[in-house]
Amino acid sequence: METKSRGHPRGREDYVCWLLLTLIIGVCCVRGLEMSTGKIPFLEAVNGSTVLLPCTYASCIGIENLYFKWEFNDNGTMQKLADAVIPLDHVGPTNLMVYHKRVDYVGSSKENNISILLWNVTFEDAGIYTCFGKNPKEKNKNHSAIFTLYVVEELRQVDNTLTKIIASCVGGFIAALMAFMLLKNLTLFVLAKMEEKNKECLVTSSGIDNTENGLSGSKSTPKKA
């Protein structure tokens, strides 16, 4: 009985450690490889311009022979633009292949960047682009992020009327506040000078009254007859 009671806490500690390890591994697996096309995954480009299609990857468990590719949804048909294999973190891609004549790979292994450039865009290039990744460390789970490209004849002019009105109102308010503070300080200065002058007048008037009453700063002693 004593042996069992001593071994029981040890078994509980092992169970807790095993449970924590399972949770940590589970979290890492859930947040393994992540593909991202940025906080704003869309762009409006002018016909004939060159655009950057951004994509980065991240993995809390690291990568090993990460396979990635860029695809374009051409009216329901996935058209491959580029693909490659990245052996390890911070190592450049191998077997890089570009399948589109107006596409250049501009990624950086130091920044986990696998972006591409699309030259001389046309209206046919508008649509959804997919950045796809697969990490063998995660049993080849598929991960992807999409980027939407809009192609226009010219960029729309933004109406800044409201912004200008708000800026004018704010500027006018600040100018009025500064003028008020300046006027307030000037008024206080004038009042202080007037008060100082009034005090001087009171002192001078008091001295004159004492002289007329036969006093010159001290009480006089009447002479004996």
Average pLDDT taken over every residue of the chain: 81
**Bridge-based pairing state of the strands 42-46 and 141-152:** parallel
In percent, the amount of the chain with pLDDT more than 90 equals 47
183 in the same domain as 126: no
pLDDT given for residue 23 in this prediction:
52
142 in the same domain as 40: yes
User: What is the extent of the structural domain holding 68?
Assistant: 32-152
Q: What is the count of structural domains for the chain?
A: 2
Handedness of CA 97, 103, 106, 109 (dihedral sign): negative
Q: For residues 72 and 80, what is the distance between their CA atoms, to the nearest angstrom?
A: 6
194 in the same domain as 87: no
The pLDDT tens digits of the residues spanning 132-187 come to 999 998 888 899 999 999 999 987 665 566 676 888 788 888 888 888 888 888 88
110 in the same domain as 48: yes
pLDDT given for residue 3 in this prediction:
46
Q: Is residue 188 part of a domain?
A: yes
Q: Nearest 10 degrees: CA dihedral of 199, 204, 207, 213?
A: -110
Closest CA to 106 of 92, 123, 120: 92
Q: Count CB neighbours of 32 within 10 A.
A: 19
Cβ partners under 8 Å of residue 82, min gap 6: 69, 70, 96, 97, 98, 99, 100, 103, 105, 116
